Amino acid sequence: MENLIEATILTGPFEGEAVLIPRIPMIPTDLPFQFKRLQFPIRLAFAITINKAQGQSLEKCGIDLNTYCFSHGQLYVACSRVGKPDNLFICSENWTAKNVVYSQVLRS
């Protein structure tokens, strides 16, 4: 809608609930003149695959492990993109992750 964003809460005690986010008036105070604009209170975010993240340095990183990593080592690559452990956020069902190892490779 033009003045509302309809969203679904993904985690926490209100998971699955639909919410409406309205545009709110923003009035900057650090300028020599005053003006008011209507703006949605949201923050820009980006999503990339683990393969595209290899070689990147990220300030903050969120990893969705509700679907498995498809090859051995991808979980390490995903977790090692951020410098501080406090800036790494992992979403996983039951706090578990499956580490995929192909036993055929280990036998040869």
Q: Which residue carries 């990339």 as its tokens?
A: 48
Query: In terms of Cα–Cα distance, which of 23, 32, 28 is closest to 1?
Result: 23
Q: Are 5 and 42 in contact (CB under 8 A)?
A: yes
Question: 68-103 pLDDT, tens per residue?
Answer: 777 767 888 888 888 898 999 888 888 777 767 777
Question: 30-59 pLDDT, tens per residue?
Answer: 989 989 988 888 887 777 877 778 778 888
